[in-house]
Structures are given as structure tokens and as C-alpha cells.
Structure 1
Amino acid sequence: MTFNPNANITSGNVSRAGGGGGLGGRGGLAIGGGGGCLMLVVVVIMMLMGVNPGSLLGAGQGTTQQDPGTSTECTTGQQANERDDCLVVGTVESADAVWAGLAGPAGIQFSEPQGRLFSGQVNTGCGAASSAVGPFYCPADQTIYIDTSFFDELSSRFGANDGSFAKMYVVAHEYGHHIQNLQGTMNQIDQQQTGPTSDGVRLELQADCYAGVWANHAAQSKDGEGNNFLQPLTDQQIADGLSAAAAVGDDHIQGEVAGGQVNPESWTHGSSEQRQKWFTTGYQSGDPGACNTFATDAL
């Protein structure tokens, strides 16, 4: 999926972390609850890969104040085609337009999330975090956090195709968590569970499905001047998105990436096949109602 070069992607809700995003706050991420719940599943995966979570998150307990943020230089679709930071901005702006139209009929009281670009480390409403946890959504401040260096790792370490839509899938998945937060889903489930049918896996697969819903409508999303944000998806771009979904499957990470045993009982995000399946479900239907992963045994 390519951005329309003439699209206006100027954003009022995506910014860069102020002061370089340092870990200068009081204490670290509260892993066990509150706004830190979504980070927990990332930490579990890192533990399975032999990474010490203490090296990824700020030490101690409690939360820190979010950095004030500075504006981005991203204003056009052409920049989004050339720069990863602007790709993030453009994807969030497109998702804002898509979900503003879908939320009401789906019974969701919509509000836009914030987006925060950072490098290395960042203070959030969920605490201090390192970019090693990957992109994440913090429900405490309703903000999507992305260090764009992850996009290189997605292809070089995790084996996804190196295409623009693979990157957009990542952003759209995190945006899907915002929709779940607005729905109240995050407060209704047991995120301490692990396993192939756990609530945590169902949450992640639903976010994949919501990413597919966005992809279905993305080419029709328009900026404030009536320009389409994006051009229609090609078959290759769909393949790129599916490769990214497969690259972050628990079985792929445990086996091919970490070189260990595949243990479904420890899964927190779902298998590569499941993640591709639910993205495809959202993409083919374009309907958020098709994404109820909590009401099916056929994950």
C-alpha cells in the first residue's frame, strides 16, 4: 500500500518523545497491572527468548509522567513513502479516519489515540520502557509508542518481508488495541493467562483482525482536504502484511527466532497461522463485528 503523494498527513496527535525519550522518571513499569498489562505479554515473549526483562523496562514500580513531545516534520504522503517516521504518522491518520466512521455503527464511543515516536527509551503513562519491548500501546495514556528501528528488526531478525505494508500492519495492530480499550475489552479479561486459547491470545488476535479491517477501508480514507490517504493494496503488499503477522507468531519466535522448543501453553500472542487468519478475516470482511475472537473456539 502506497501513500497518495498529495495526501496531507499533518497530525495533531502524533509527536516525537521530548528530550530524546530518556528514562528520567520516578520508577519503572508496573508490569502486574494498570496501564502496564499490554507490556506484560511482550515481556513474556522476551523471557522465552532468553532476554532479561529488567534490561528492557525501567527498574522499580509505579508509573512515570509522559514526555511532553515535539511535533513531527511529516506533512505529505510523499514523505510517508520515503520515511518510516512519516509512514507511522500517515498510518495513524488514515486509521483515525477509518475508525471514526466504523466506531459508531459498531457501538464504540470513538476518540483518537495519541501516537509517540521515540528512540531508545521513553516515559509513558504505563511507566518507563525501552525500545527492546517493540511497539506497544499504553491504555493508561491511550498512546501508541513506536521506535521505528523495530521495522528493520522485523525483517532482519524476525524474517518478515521488507515492505511498507508490513510496517503499516504493525501500526494498525497497535491501533487495534486502542479500539479494544475504547470497547472496555482490556478491563474485562484475564491478561495473566497464557496458552493457545487464553484471553491474552484472543486479545492479540482481535487486534490483528482490527488491523485487517483498517486495511480493507484504508484506500477510501481521506484527509481533511478530501484526498485519499492511500492507494489500493496490491497482492504483494497483502503478502507483506501477512509475512509480518507470521513473523510475530509465538511459534515462530520460540522456534525459528529463539531456537528453542515450541510451547503452546506459554503463548501470549498466538501462532503465525492464527495471526494470519485473523488479519485475513478482518481484511476480507471489513467488519469489526467479524473480529470477536472471544466468542469462538476456532482460533
Structure 2
Amino acid sequence: MTFNPNAEIRSDNVSSSGGGGGMLGGGRGPRGRIALGGGGGCLLLIIVIIYALAGGNPLELLGGTTTGQEQPVTGEALAGCETGEDANRRDDCLVQATIESADSFWSQAAPAAGIDFSEPRGTLYPGQVQTGCGPATSAVGPFYCPADATIYIDASFFEELESRYGASGGQLSKMYVVAHEYGHHIQNLDGTMSRIDRSGTGPQSDGVRLELQADCYAGLWTRHATSTVDENGTAMLAPLTRQDIEDALSGASAVGDDHIQGEVAGGEVNPDSWTHGSSEQRRTWFLRGYEEGTYQACDTFSEAEV
């Protein structure tokens, strides 16, 4: 799935913090790692990234604090991210373009579902960043901070998604990560994040259902992405192919709890500890959003089993 080369992707809501607007996708930024614990446990980094992808505050795991107050983060506009052609060449521009496309979709879909919509901000942060949820480093990976309604992404994560976690590396695999984080913004706006009990774990826990719902919202955006337009009415994305969907499913599978615990970390798969869902669950709910194409289809909390 590629962006229309002529599409306008400039944004007032997406910026770079700590590294300017240069190309972020061509190499790995600083990413502090902690070694494996005894008994075949998972890398703390892996736990943090997956916790963050689920919409949790990763700073709870890293010892940071949440202010509970909205602290808008300011930064520099991404240099050279102006058209779809830029998004097809550069991962930082891809993040910006995906957020812009999601803005186009959710600005209509959210009010239709009774949600008081506002756009999130997006911040690319090579190295470290100060957020409304406290300080974070690149080790945290992609996450959404509800305190400042901002999606934070170190674009070098996309390389790791492919090399460490085994995703295909296709464009829609990367866009899936961004659309998933945008899904957590919708959950923040509609009150889901504040209503649920996120203290439990396991395949049917509220935390897993929150994660799978965000996957479903990513699939929902994918279904309608080719209908999103820029400010001039130009279609933002080219038509989907079957390979595009396979790329997105590859990304969803790569961050499944069972895959992370077993194939990536080399430990035992323990469903009772899951907070984000298995690879199969994540694929299933992405496809639910993509195939059914409605906000209502993504109500994971009304299902007896997910």
C-alpha cells in the first residue's frame, strides 16, 4: 500500500522532538537494552514495547511518572515531508502521512459514532522525549499518551519490527503500527480507557480486549484508507492489494504475546500473563475491522470470548 505521490501530507500536528526533521528510517536510533533475566524470561525491552503498543503507559514499567495533566509537546515540523512521494521514501514521513490519513477518516467516522472528535498530535522522537506522561526514551517504542493526546514513535522501530519480531517489512505493516496507536486515541476520546479494569491479565482480560479493539480500529482505517483525501480533495492512498493485507497481518502477528514470549524471547508461552493477545487474536480482530468496516464491529468488550 503506497501513498499517492501527489497527495499533500503536510501537518500542523506532527513534529520531531530531539532530532529535527531528518530521515529516521534509515538506521537505528539509541535503544537502551536490558539483558534476559533468569529462567528464559523476556527482554524488558520487549515487555515495554508490547505494553506500550497496547496503549498502556510504558513509564509505569520504566519507573517514570504520569502527571495526570495535559502537557502539550512541541517540536519542529518534519523537514521534507510534503507529499505522498516523501512518505513512500521515508519512514518519518510515512508516520506523518498515516496520521493525516487517519485524521481524514476518523474526523467523519468518530462523530458518526457519537464521539466528540479531536485530532491527536504525533511526535517522532529519536533518542528521548518529554511527554505528558513523563520522560521516555527510544527503548519504549511506539506508544500513545492520553495525558497529552499524542502518538509517540521512534521510526527506527520499524526496522526492529522486521528484523527482531519477524514482520514482513511492507508499508502497510508499518502503517498498522501507527493506525493501532491512533486507535488508542479513539479509545481515549470515547471513554473506553477510563472505564475498563486493566489490572488483570490473560487472553480474555480487559487489557487484551483494549489491545484487540485498537487492532480492529487499525483494520477499520485500512478498509477506508483509500477513500481518505488531503485538503485539496486528492486521494491519499493507492488501492489496496492482497499483499498489503498480508503485510498488515504480518505486523499484527509479530507483536502477539505468544510470538513474543516463545519465538522472539525463547521462553515459555504463558497465556495467563498475556496483556495484549496472541498473534491469532490480533490477526482476527484486524480482519474484523477491515472486513466489516464499522466502528460497532470493533466492540471487543461485548464479546463472550475474543
TM class by shorter chain equals 0.7 to 0.9
Distance 1:133 1:60 in 2: 11
Distance 1:96 1:204 in 2: 20
Equivalent position SS for 2:186: helix
Q: 1:254 is aligned with what amino acid?
A: Q
TM value normalised by structure 1? 0.87
Could you tell me how far 1:48 is from its partner in structure 2? 5.1
Equivalent position SS for 1:103: helix
Alignment correspondent of 2:24: none
Could you tell me how far 1:249 is from its partner in structure 2? 0.2
Q: Among residues 207, 216, 229, which one is paired with 2:223 in the alignment?
A: 216
Alignment correspondent of 1:5: 5
Q: Is the 8 A contact 2:120 2:185 kept in 1?
A: yes
Alignment correspondent of 2:53: none
Q: Is the 8 A contact 1:213 1:286 kept in 2?
A: yes
Give CA-to-partner distance per residue, 1:162-201, whole Å, 9 cap, x none. 1111000000000000000000000001111111110000
Q: 1:50 is aligned with what amino acid?
A: L
Distance 2:88 2:225 in 1: 15
1:92 is the counterpart of 2:92? no
Q: 1:294 is aligned with what amino acid?
A: F
The change in CA–CA distance for 1:113 and 1:48 in structure 2 (over 3 A counts) is farther
Distance 1:81 1:289 in 2: 32
Q: Where does the alignment leave 5 or more consecutive residues of structure 1 unmatched?
A: 21-46
Alignment correspondent of 1:68: 74
Q: Is the 8 A contact 1:8 1:223 kept in 2?
A: yes
Alignment correspondent of 1:136: 143
Distance 2:187 2:295 in 1: 11
The change in CA–CA distance for 1:207 and 1:11 in structure 2 (over 3 A counts) is same
1:249 is the counterpart of 2:263? no
The change in CA–CA distance for 1:48 and 1:267 in structure 2 (over 3 A counts) is farther
Alignment correspondent of 2:155: 148
Alignment of 1:34-53 (within 5 A): 49-51=42-44
Distance 1:275 1:8 in 2: 31
Could you tell me how far 1:50 is from its partner in structure 2? 3.3
The change in CA–CA distance for 1:182 and 1:72 in structure 2 (over 3 A counts) is same
1:122 is the counterpart of 2:115? no
Q: 1:256 is aligned with what amino acid?
A: E
Distance 2:192 2:286 in 1: 19
Could you tell me how far 1:214 is from its partner in structure 2? 0.2
Q: Is the 8 A contact 1:95 1:214 kept in 2?
A: yes
1:105 is the counterpart of 2:98? no
Equivalent position SS for 1:104: helix
Q: Among residues 264, 287, 302, which one is paired with 1:295 in the alignment?
A: 302
Q: 2:262 is aligned with what amino acid?
A: G
Give CA-to-partner distance per residue, 1:209-256, whole Å, 9 cap, x none. 000000000000000101000011110111000000000000000000
Q: 2:76 is aligned with what amino acid?
A: T
Distance 1:111 1:217 in 2: 19
Q: Is the 8 A contact 2:257 2:275 kept in 1?
A: yes
Q: 2:17 is aligned with what amino acid?
A: A
Could you tell me how far 1:61 is from its partner in structure 2? 3.8
Q: Is the 8 A contact 2:42 2:261 kept in 1?
A: yes
Q: Is the 8 A contact 2:65 2:133 kept in 1?
A: no
Distance 1:61 1:131 in 2: 17
The change in CA–CA distance for 1:48 and 1:112 in structure 2 (over 3 A counts) is farther
RMSD: 1.9
Q: 2:74 is aligned with what amino acid?
A: P
Could you tell me how far 1:120 is from its partner in structure 2? 1.9
Distance 1:149 1:60 in 2: 22
After TM superposition, the structure 1 stretch with the greater mean CA deviation from structure 2, 56-65 or 77-86, is 56-65
Q: Is the 8 A contact 2:183 2:218 kept in 1?
A: yes
Between the two proteins, the alignment pairs up a number of residues equal to 272
Q: Is the 8 A contact 1:66 1:123 kept in 2?
A: no
TM value normalised by structure 2? 0.85
Q: Where does the alignment leave 5 or more consecutive residues of structure 2 unmatched?
A: 21-39, 49-57
Q: Is the 8 A contact 1:246 1:272 kept in 2?
A: yes
Distance 1:62 1:249 in 2: 26
Distance 1:175 1:111 in 2: 12
Distance 1:217 1:297 in 2: 28
1:173 is the counterpart of 2:190? no
**What percent of counterpart residues are identical?**
63
